[in-house]
Amino acid sequence: MRQQELIVYRDFEDGSLLEDMAWVMDHYTDGRVNAQGGPDVTALFYSCIHRLIELAGNYGFCGNLWHCYLANLLVNNENSYSKGCECRGGVDGTINAAVLHDIVILKEFYDFDFRPVMERLGVPEFALVEHYEGSSQEGRVYNKRIRARICGLAEAFCQDGTPQEMKDTLTQFYREYGVGKFGLHKSFRIAHGEAGVEVAPILNIAHVKLDDLVGYEIPKRKLVENTEAFVEGRPANNCLLYGDAGTGKSSCIKAIANEYYDRGLRVIEVYRHQFQDLNDVIAQVKNRNYRFILYMDDLSFEDFETEYKYLKALIEGGLERRPSNVLIYATSNRRHLIRENYQDKEEVREDMHSSDTVQEKLSLSGRFGVTIYFGAPTPKQYQEIVAVLAAKNGIQMPKEELLGQAVRWELNHGGLSGRTAQQFIDYLLGRKDTNGD
């Protein structure tokens, strides 16, 4: 096998299995221990089977696990070609000839007939990984959506009769879904690894949609308009969602991540203590073809906290311009984000320039071009939210009884809010007399 001749597709993250399988393919006729003093070929073949089955458990793959493994290598290999194709499709230039050269080699691996290997080594168990029935549960690395796309790509490669067709199929995948972690996942968090600051995928995000959020049509429309402009490459603003607790601010951001994923939008969750890492994060995403929202939940500062200065410089004020594919969306219960005191406005105080102090505290919120208010619902709106959520969840209960219980619930559980309404519905769903048990 010719894996050492690869030009563009090299340095696979999980390439050791490819190397070991290539050794088996090249030396299975040499006997149990080959003449070159290499490893026991039969034992190595069994080891490869073991690793493919472990792969299925971790990633949730099914079908031909060898094909799924190869498809996964191609989906995750970030190189000049794959990154150029992400969200845009094919690219021009000599790079296409180099990629086609690699696909010719990789197709040899993909189309390899293992029957002579199984017979010569006496290892019929390889048939297990050629027709593997996976668990219906999600893997620890990929959720069902990602698993289905990679398994689907592996099956699509089976229909490609030539390396050019296989290349075209792969390029189309890059155009639709992207490459690597940014292509496969919707949302991310900041982590610290051996290489420093890393943007790590969040494997499972709540599958909430904007239509699931009852009410707040005007705030949702403002958020959608700004996000639509951003994903379409038009000028857009940083956005601050503020207002009462439990009114759906954070849920709106999750819904945005779900609804605009297919159009190249990705969301990176940032905590306040990570503001000093933002420059490293932006350096990793600024040259990609995706649109990134840096999401900061429950953003607020006490008057003695200074982390907000990192954020001010990032939004507007630093020498380096913020990339056009990055926006900041924040949620807060405070309109002005930084706590203000009455003494800030007193004429007599230790600070000789009191107006400067006030402006310093207002300057952060002023750098969000779009501010959207989420207020607590009225009693009537709260009851409408409860009624809609009950209908969506199939709760069968007389309307008067439902609303009466909902009112009593909110009086004892946090007051009028969408969150309280959802908690009431969850309570009903957990009761045996309302969930059908």
Q: Say whether pLDDT at 391 is over 70.
A: yes
Q: What mean pLDDT comes out for the span 30-55?
A: 81
Q: pTM for the whole thing?
A: 0.82
Check residue 97 and give its pLDDT. 98
Q: What mean pLDDT comes out for the span 274-279?
A: 88
Q: Say whether pLDDT at 28 is over 60.
A: yes
SS3 sequence, the chain?
CCHHHCCCCCCCCCCHHHHHHHHHHHHCCCCCECCCCCCEHHHHHHHHHHHHHHHHHHHCCCECHHHHHHHHHHHHCCCHHHHHHCCCCCCCCCHHHHHHHHHHHHHHHHCCCCHHHHHHHCCHHHHHHHCECCCCCCCCCCCHHHHHHHHHHHHHHHCCCCHHHHHHHHHHHHHHHCCHHHHHCCEEEEEEECCEEEEEECCCCCCCCHHHCCCCHHHHHHHHHHHHHHHCCCCCCCEEEEECCCCCHHHHHHHHHHHCHHHCEEEEECCHHHHHHHHHHHHHHCCCCCEEEEEECCCCECCCCCCHHHHHHHHCCCCCCCCCCEEEEEEECCCCCECCCHHHHCCCCCCCCHHHHHHHHHCCHHHCCEEEEECCCCHHHHHHHHHHHHHHCCCCCCHHHHHHHHHHHHHHCCCCCHHHHHHHHHHHHHCCCCCCC
Q: Say whether pLDDT at 216 is over 90.
A: no
**How far is it, in rounded angstroms, from Cα 49 to Cα 126?**
6
Q: Are 315 and 328 in contact (CB under 8 A)?
A: yes
pLDDT band at 135 (very low <50, low <70, confident <90, very high): confident
**How far is it, in rounded angstroms, from Cα 141 to Cα 59?**
5
> What are 161-214's pLDDT values in tens digits?
999 999 999 999 999 999 999 999 999 999 998 889 999 999 878 788 888 888
Q: Say whether pLDDT at 342 is over 50.
A: no
Q: Are 236 and 227 in contact (CB under 8 A)?
A: yes
Encoded tokens for 337: 């984000």
Q: Among the listed ranges 132-141, 182-191, 324-333, 408-417, which one has the minimum average pLDDT value?
A: 132-141
249-259 helix and 217-231 helix, angle to the nearest 10 degrees: 40
**How far is it, in rounded angstroms, from Cα 126 to Cα 51?**
12
Q: What mean pLDDT comes out for the span 68-92?
A: 95
pLDDT band at 93 (very low <50, low <70, confident <90, very high): very high
Check residue 353 and give its pLDDT. 40
**92 vs 135, which has greater pLDDT?**
92
Q: Are 416 and 376 in contact (CB under 8 A)?
A: yes
272 burial type by CB count under 10 A (0-12 exposed, 13-18 middle, 19+ buried): middle
Q: Among the listed ranges 180-194, 274-288, 308-322, which one has the minimum average pLDDT value?
A: 308-322
Check residue 139 and give its pLDDT. 65
**How far is it, in rounded angstroms, from Cα 414 to Cα 247?**
12
Calculate what percentage of the chain has a pLDDT beyond 70.
84
**How far is it, in rounded angstroms, from Cα 1 to Cα 131?**
24
Check residue 20 and give its pLDDT. 95
Rounded mean pLDDT of the chain? 86
3 burial type by CB count under 10 A (0-12 exposed, 13-18 middle, 19+ buried): buried
Q: Say whether pLDDT at 348 is over 80.
A: no
Q: Which of 54-58, 132-136, 161-165, 371-375 has the highest mean pLDDT?
A: 161-165
Q: String of b and e for 126-145 (b: at least 16 CB within 10 Å)?
A: beebeebebeeebbebbbee
